[in-house]
Structure 1
Amino acid sequence: MKIIKKISLILLLLLVLLALAVFGFLQFKKPNYDGDVQLSQLKNTTTTYFDDYGIPHIYANDEVDAQRVLGYVHAQERLWQMELMRRIAPGKLSEIFGSVMLKNDMFFATSGIQENSELAVANLDKNSQSYKLTLSYLDGINQYIEEGKMPIEFSLLGITPEKFTVKDVYNIFGFMSFSFAMAQKTDPLLTDIRDNLGMEYLKDFGIHGEFGTRQLKSFKGKSSEFAEISKSITALLENSPVPTFVGSNSWVIGANKTKNGKVIFANDPHIMFSQPGTWFEAHIITPKHEMYGYYLAGTPFPLLGHNRDYAYGLTMFENDDLDLFEETENRQNSNQYLTSQGYQNYTLRQNTIKIKDSADVILKTKSSIHGPIISEVLTGVNKSKPISMSWIYTQEKNQILDAVYGLCHAKDLNDFYEKIELIHAPGLNIMYGDVKNNIAWITSGKLYKLDSSVNPNFILNGSNGIDDRKEFLPFSKNPLAINPPWNYVYSSNNQPEAIDGYLYPGYYLPKDRATRIDTLLKVKNDWTRMDVEKMILDNTSSTAAQIVNSWILSLDKNQLNETEKNAISQLKIWNGSSNLNDIATTIYNKWIYFYLKNTFRDELGEEKFKLLLATHKIKEIFGEQSRNDSSIWWDNIETKTKKETRSDILTQSFKETIKNLEANLGSDVQLWTWNKAHSLEFQHPIGQVKLLKGFFNVGPYEVPGANEMINNLMYFYSDEKINQVKAGPSTRRIIDFSDIENSVSILPTGNSGNPMSKHYKDQAEMYVKGHFRKMLLNKKEIEKVSTKIVFSPKK
């Protein structure tokens, strides 16, 4: 027994020592928010105040010093995120995660982003201010790498970071631009529907930009499996450790519609949730420049920002800037493909992908005049049908660095407008408001028209010389509204009105949010910041109540039991809201899933049905299709003895909905509240490991909001008990030019990406409860609540 006791005591002591070692290690990893730091090449002492939410306010004599310090403090909080961001586009995730990321690396190494970045850097004006400030920012990152504490994630994965370069910055912008594109997920699926089912099945899909306004010619091509491209790319993006942009809201209220006679600006970009979140907040102040900005990891200039003179933000334009082409290879020479001018040679390229704990992979890729052949690096895709990717971002001159620099250094509205023309891709709705009472919505993107015979919703013909013929439009034809007489502008990824009779093709989201925003703004002329705070948290759909009422009318009432009737009673009194205690929104969202499943899955099959659920298209069409009695989709092709009607499918779907809710939430309809069915957890890439989940992840939380409401907390429709929120507002930001120092914002979790920082999740509870915090501009106010680091030149 004594020996056992001794062994037990020794083991206990070892565990205590191990716990103390781990505790000490983690404490050492905490970021510093006060003290003194010396930096090489710093010209003058620069003081950085960290306010009570860990947001750095950098006071410097000039921008070069400010950017060097920004790079340092940005790396202190987000170096792990920076490392991930710079590795995606060149295909270097396998170096740290192993072969699980090989498919992602093969695709992005083929995409052309890396080559475009190299070309852009080679053509940069090395004397430009944007270049000089970028070098200073990168030097700050690299000095932190040399002298600072490495993130916990680096220790767990054994990462030794290399110095950051300007090419890394371009690669980060390139990946984020690609994540905006929806064509690569949608076009192959629609091509499959056309080829396998016929054009009749696309009448409900609005592929000409308007629902039901044009007759489509009957067409059925050769059976194909292009949807495998959609499946593969969707899986790659979902497997990415970095979140993608998926939507956004923004509106700017003119002075004539505000109580205090000054512009009020609002923006909440919608991005896939992650931990850490997308944005790093920082405030730079020099004698000649001030900007309170939101930065992507590893980039020197903010995509969202404001100062005392103007504010800007963005949403996704959703225009089509990416086309897929089916190439025809020469049967005698696989290195050649057919064009309207005859056979041409592919451009051949070779990359080496390094894999952690495994042999390198040599990747050989081909490119046509349209772009890289992506079909060869996608899982499950028929390699005998080469598919190339033509993307404006990699084909036009890349001036993204100068553009983003220009947005945060604009002298006035005209100067701001001119800088937007530099952004050829991605397509963005860029929103603007200023202290002089100007308001604007301006779209970025190099827009073009295809031949009138070509529909860009499908994979195009690469050899006929017609499908790839583009008429590029001047920037003056980009949709915009500057100081309109109705005194407000807004954008919610909805399709702009036709210009010169032409509807710009794209992958727009339904007009639900836009309609709600427009309806609220139109009738009120005394807006305050507090009013806008309530509006940005609005949980009411502009269409849901009408849709569900039309569905109720179609039900076969003779088939309904008592529980189903109680559920209908809840739906009948519903106004379309999605608050935590709402019951009807739980029923409605589950009913949507079963209606979609029973309508589309029999024709598409399980895999393609899930792909459809992952596109913007399903959100755009279901309101229209579900009210169309004559839709070809209603008939279940698996039942041979009956032709189902709209009433049949909606009744069946409703009954399955109630059965599902009874199984998951019990038989009492009053207990089916939305808080039990709608949950948000901010997930860290390493948080997928169960043992580390509690340390790295934040949440889960019960949350209000729903798909396509202003408070757009998004999820995929499913038959699961919980609607797991995947995306939503990456920040909520309101700038009131009548009281600029009391403008407000919120981040989903916190400004730090370091799990040991008190600012890792200090905003999470506030965010889910719909609270805000001030964006401090007043130095005296900043000093009262802040710690500080004094950065001085290294001797």
Structure 2
Amino acid sequence: MEKLKKVFLIVITLLLLVVIGIVIFIITLKPNYSGEQELKNLKSAVSVYYDTYGIPHIYGESETDAFRTLGYVHAQDRLWQMELLRRIGPGRLSEVFGKDMIPTDKFLISLGIDEASEKTAASLDENSETIRLTRAYLEGVNSFIENGPTPVEFYLTGIEKTPFVVKDVYNTIGYMAFSFAMAHKTDPLLTNIKEKLGSEYLKDLEVNADPSLTTIANYPKNDFILKNTISEIAFQALKKLPVPMFEGSNSWVLSPEKTKNGKVIFANDPHIGFSQPSVWYEAHVSTPTYEKYGYHLAGVPFPLLGHDRNLAYGLTMFENDDIDFYYEEEHPTDKTKYSYKGAWKTYETVTKTIKVKDADAVAFTYKKTIHGPVLNGIADQIVGDKPIAMSWVYTRVENKTLNAFNSIVHANALNDFKKALAGIHAPGLNIMYGDAKGNIAWFATAKLYQMPDSINTKFVLEGSSGAQEPLRYLDFEENPHAINPPWNYVYSANNQPDSILGKIYPGYYLPENRAKRITQLLAPKNDWDKDAVSKMITDVTSAINPSVVRNLINEIDVSALSENQKQLIHQLKEWQGEATLENVETTMYHRWIYFFMKNTFSDELSEEQFTAFLGTHFFKRTIAPMAEKRESIWWDDIGTPEKETKKVMVNKSFQQAYAALEKSLGEDTQYWTWNKVHSIEHPHPIGQVEALRNFFNVGPFEVNGTREVINNLSFAYTEDGLYKVLSGPSTRRIIDFSDVENSISILPTGQSGNMLSNHYQDQAKMYVNGEFRKMMMNKEEITATAESVLIFKPL
């Protein structure tokens, strides 16, 4: 018995030692926010003050030292995120996540991002300020890789840390450019509808832009002409991408005439897929010659969103077209050749090898034409004998984006700022601007191109003749923009810009819903302040949904309704479009819309095509017009001998929606509240493993808001009627130049991507509640209230 006790004590002691060892090991993986740290190549010491939310305020004697320090502190909070983002362009995700990522890697490799990055990196001006600061930033990142603790994700996935190089920065920019590109969600779908069903079925789809909708007005007016709009393509390989996609955004800037204090107020909330960590890393960098409070993409030294005491800038998606698809004519007997302008050209053949975790490497080969990579054999959705090639502006034009953002962050006034924008060729961005002198502006930045007037690029084009090629690239001055317009505000909600000489700029514009609400709120009010703008940026009322509901109610056969159903119809008639947690009407609206659109379109489309359709912008653009139309070819169910009408579809859909909600939420309609079906969770790639979900993911939380309101929390329509938010405001920022040091912001989860940090999710509940925190810029206040201080000294 005594021996058993001793053995038991020894076992317990050993287990305790193991547990203590594990705890000590885990503690060593936490970010270090205080003390002293040596850093190679520093010329003088740099002080980093961390505020209450873990945001670094970096004070250095030179920009080079400050950017080098920024690289280190950015990496210690976001190295795992940096690692994933730099792997997108070269298609190296299978090395981390295994064979399921092979189709995604194949597609990403074929885009040519990595090749374009390598070409750009090989031709850099090493003496330029852009590259000097970029290399300093990367030296800081690599110093952390060499000397700092390894994030736990590297242990769990078994990948090694390796140094970052300039090409990685360009690959990350390339990921952002493709993430913005919407062409992969619609073109093949529309082409298939046209070829299989006939062009008559396209008439009721919102394929072309509508100048009668709420548009972003140009000012001053231009006299330039562009081609017709084009749309999108669904590409399933990107569904498994373990990083967020850029989705949309809101921004508005108010001139002094519109504000209570007579100074510009700037608001911006870029909409991006939710993830953990969230996309942006905040950092305040200050030197004797430079200061910026900025939001950084992981691995990119210059902030894509930022402000100082002189000016503020932000972005939304322009939604322009920068991808075209071409049918290639292949030689009838020699599959190595294709036709172009009357001559047979030889395909360029590219062979790549994908390393795969826990499996053999995979070699694959794809072909390229003068237009770009041939997607057959790469994209599973591209089927048939006709080769389809993809032409993308990002890889066809010299990449000056990094230089452009360096110039943006160093601009001190409107003219310098505007000059910098011409270097952004892709992704297409609406750049919003406001400054302390009272200037406001909106610029659509992208390398736009003109097509022949007869070409409708919403469909796959004909590649062999050479007659459906871009005629020219436009000068930046021809892009849509507005500078200090007389209506005293500028805005963007991913809606279409105004026309120029009767032609609409090409793009994948979102419906007018958010734009209409923004202009409804901004136009009549001339005493805006920071508090009023903060309420507006969290607004959850739709300017369109109530009219959609009323158009549907006009078709309802009231005699077929129960008393409970009649009561619900009455509530819907009175509904003002708000999507709050306790709202019932929003729940019924989305269930009804789902069944209405499913009954309308799914009989003509395959299940895969209907699912693809649900994921497009033009689906969102179709909802309101279809609810308003009296006649449509789509309402006839081709599976029945009868000819169905709108009334049949509306009533059938209402009954289906009602029955589905009754089954899932009970018979009492007053319990069908929005909070029961609408939630947000911020997924971490490791959180896909169920046992680790609670450790890495943040949430879920009940949340108000919905699709295409200002507080745009987007979700996919699914059969189960549960609305799991996929994307939304990646930050909410409000800069008031009457009190710039008390400007406010919020992140969806927290500043750090290290799960052991106190700042991993310390803003999550604030975000859901629509709360804000200060973006501190006053050095005295920062040093007096800092949570910790980390001093970097020359090595």
Q: Is the shorter-chain TM-score for this pair beyond 0.5, marking a shared fold? A: yes
Distance 1:675 1:420 in 2: 42
Deviation at 1:731, TM superposition (A): 0.1
What is the 5 A alignment of 1:522-601?
A: 522-601=523-602
Question: Is 1:566–1:669's contact at 8 Å kept on the other side of the alignment?
Answer: no
In the other structure, the counterpart of 1:86 is 86
1:676-732 superposed Cα distances (whole Å, 9 cap, x missing partner): 110000010000101100000000000000000000011012232421000000000
In the other structure, the counterpart of 2:52 is 52
In the other structure, the counterpart of 2:275 is 274
Letter of the structure 2 residue corresponding to residue 723 of structure 1 = Y
SS of the equivalent of 2:459 reads coil
Deviation at 1:6, TM superposition (A): 8.6
SS of the equivalent of 2:760 reads coil
1:491–1:3: structure 2 CA closer, same or farther, 3 Å change rule?
farther
Matched, 1:429 2:410: no
In the other structure, the counterpart of 1:335 is 336
SS of the equivalent of 1:248 reads strand
Question: Is 1:376–1:386's contact at 8 Å kept on the other side of the alignment?
Answer: no
1:727-783 superposed Cα distances (whole Å, 9 cap, x missing partner): 000000000000000000000000000000000000001000000000000011111
Matched, 1:660 2:660: yes
In the other structure, the counterpart of 2:785 is 785
Deviation at 1:4, TM superposition (A): 9.4
1:568–1:20: structure 2 CA closer, same or farther, 3 Å change rule?
farther
Deviation at 1:465, TM superposition (A): 1.5
Distance 2:578 2:14 in 1: 56
Distance 1:86 1:499 in 2: 39
Distance 2:740 2:109 in 1: 45
Distance 1:562 1:687 in 2: 46
Structure 2: 5+ residue stretches without partners: 214-231
Distance 2:13 2:636 in 1: 70
Moved more, 610-619 or 331-340: 331-340
In the other structure, the counterpart of 2:714 is 714
In the other structure, the counterpart of 2:352 is 351
Deviation at 1:424, TM superposition (A): 1.1
What is the 5 A alignment of 1:343-382?
A: 343-379=344-380, 381-382=382-383
Letter of the structure 2 residue corresponding to residue 470 of structure 1 = L
Distance 1:585 1:34 in 2: 48
SS of the equivalent of 1:324 reads strand
Deviation at 1:300, TM superposition (A): 0.6
1:403-451 superposed Cα distances (whole Å, 9 cap, x missing partner): 1111111131111111111111111100000000000000101111211
Moved more, 780-789 or 377-386: 377-386
Distance 1:39 1:660 in 2: 61
In the other structure, the counterpart of 2:444 is 443
Question: Is 1:204–1:212's contact at 8 Å kept on the other side of the alignment?
Answer: no
1:30-89 superposed Cα distances (whole Å, 9 cap, x missing partner): 111100000110000000111110000000001100010000000000000000000011
Matched, 1:458 2:459: yes
Letter of the structure 2 residue corresponding to residue 154 of structure 1 = F
What is the 5 A alignment of 1:22-421?
A: 22-210=22-210, 230=233, 233=235, 235-379=236-380, 381-382=382-383, 384-421=385-422
Letter of the structure 1 residue corresponding to residue 109 of structure 2 = A
SS of the equivalent of 2:745 reads strand
In the other structure, the counterpart of 2:468 is 467
Deviation at 1:13, TM superposition (A): 5.9
Letter of the structure 1 residue corresponding to residue 666 of structure 2 = G
Letter of the structure 1 residue corresponding to residue 330 of structure 2 = E
Deviation at 1:148, TM superposition (A): 0.2
Matched, 1:647 2:652: no
Structure 1: 5+ residue stretches without partners: 214-228
Question: Is 1:265–1:311's contact at 8 Å kept on the other side of the alignment?
Answer: yes
1:643–1:793: structure 2 CA closer, same or farther, 3 Å change rule?
same
Letter of the structure 1 residue corresponding to residue 94 of structure 2 = S
Distance 2:12 2:335 in 1: 67
SS of the equivalent of 2:298 reads coil
Distance 1:237 1:412 in 2: 40
Moved more, 77-86 or 101-110: 101-110
Question: Is 1:263–1:738's contact at 8 Å kept on the other side of the alignment?
Answer: yes
Distance 2:8 2:313 in 1: 63
Deviation at 1:472, TM superposition (A): 2.2
Distance 2:94 2:728 in 1: 29
Moved more, 662-671 or 336-345: 336-345
In the other structure, the counterpart of 1:734 is 734
SS of the equivalent of 2:591 reads helix
SS of the equivalent of 1:371 reads coil
Deviation at 1:2, TM superposition (A): 9.7
Question: Is 1:660–1:719's contact at 8 Å kept on the other side of the alignment?
Answer: no
Distance 2:348 2:719 in 1: 47
Distance 1:445 1:2 in 2: 80
Matched, 1:696 2:696: yes
Distance 1:71 1:675 in 2: 41
Deviation at 1:381, TM superposition (A): 3.2
Letter of the structure 1 residue corresponding to residue 341 of structure 2 = S
In the other structure, the counterpart of 1:614 is 615
Moved more, 430-439 or 338-347: 338-347
Deviation at 1:10, TM superposition (A): 7.2
Deviation at 1:282, TM superposition (A): 0.3
In the other structure, the counterpart of 1:224 is none
SS of the equivalent of 2:450 reads strand
Deviation at 1:28, TM superposition (A): 1.6
Question: Is 1:306–1:312's contact at 8 Å kept on the other side of the alignment?
Answer: yes
SS of the equivalent of 2:687 reads helix
Moved more, 358-367 or 287-296: 358-367
1:195-222 superposed Cα distances (whole Å, 9 cap, x missing partner): 1111111112232322899xxxxxxxxx
1:318-349 superposed Cα distances (whole Å, 9 cap, x missing partner): 01110011111113222211111311112222
Letter of the structure 2 residue corresponding to residue 515 of structure 1 = K
Question: Is 2:311–2:412's contact at 8 Å kept on the other side of the alignment?
Answer: no
Distance 1:117 1:430 in 2: 24
Question: Is 1:269–1:315's contact at 8 Å kept on the other side of the alignment?
Answer: yes
Distance 1:349 1:514 in 2: 44
Question: Is 1:280–1:295's contact at 8 Å kept on the other side of the alignment?
Answer: yes
In the other structure, the counterpart of 1:226 is none
SS of the equivalent of 1:169 reads helix
Deviation at 1:24, TM superposition (A): 2.5
Deviation at 1:146, TM superposition (A): 0.4
**Number of matched pairs:** 776
1:627–1:10: structure 2 CA closer, same or farther, 3 Å change rule?
farther
1:87-130 superposed Cα distances (whole Å, 9 cap, x missing partner): 01101111121212111111111111111111111222211100
**Percent identity, aligned pairs only?**
52
Distance 2:486 2:610 in 1: 44
Give the TM-score normalised by the residue count of structure 1.
Answer: 0.95
Question: Is 2:270–2:730's contact at 8 Å kept on the other side of the alignment?
Answer: yes
Distance 1:77 1:441 in 2: 33
- RMSD between aligned residues: 1.7
Question: Is 2:394–2:427's contact at 8 Å kept on the other side of the alignment?
Answer: yes
SS of the equivalent of 1:377 reads coil
Deviation at 1:367, TM superposition (A): 1.2
Deviation at 1:497, TM superposition (A): 0.9
SS of the equivalent of 1:58 reads strand
Letter of the structure 1 residue corresponding to residue 37 of structure 2 = V
Distance 1:482 1:734 in 2: 20
Deviation at 1:382, TM superposition (A): 2.2
